[in-house]
Amino acid sequence: MNILMGMGNTLRQDDGVGVMIARAFSTPGWMSLDCGTVPENFSSVIRNNHPKTLVLIDAAAMGKTPGTFCKIPEENVPEAGMATHQMPVSMLMGFLKESAGEIVFIGIEPEDTGYGEGLSSSVEIAMHQLLRILVENRFENIPLF
């Protein structure tokens, strides 16, 4: 089994992209979790299931064009993140490291994280592109940050 954790705040526009992906993602062999702003609350699910692959998805300020998505290695996560979670993503990854075969963090560059609902057009397009890649299990098509 594999697990996808979508993180973010849907009341802060593009910051909700991880949650929106988790809600839309349904593929055999995968469990999809809408973790909102408290992904650490789902750590027991990871520890109890020991996924082969754990994918974390969140908006990430990488200094790239809005809608760009990248796999971000654990050592680069502090450089590319949002401050809308209780626990930093890098700390969460370290905490879950022993419970998953592989952990992949995918960040999506937001356009607007101001208060409001809905995604910007660039991030919505990226969301659909990333969903296709995930469903088709083509992780190699996601560039590295």
pLDDT single digits (tens) 46-99: 999 999 999 999 999 999 999 999 999 988 876 665 555 667 788 889 889 999
- For residue 63 the two structure tokens come to 């200094």
Q: How many CB atoms lie within 10 A of CB 34?
A: 19
- Which residues 6+ apart lie within 8 Å of 114 measured at CB? 12, 13
CA-to-CA distance for 61 and 34, rounded, in angstroms?
A: 21
Work out how many domains the chain is built from and give that number: 1
CATH number assigned to the domain comprising residue 112: 3.40.50.1450
Segments forming the whole domain that contains residue 81: 2-141
pLDDT value for 89 = 83
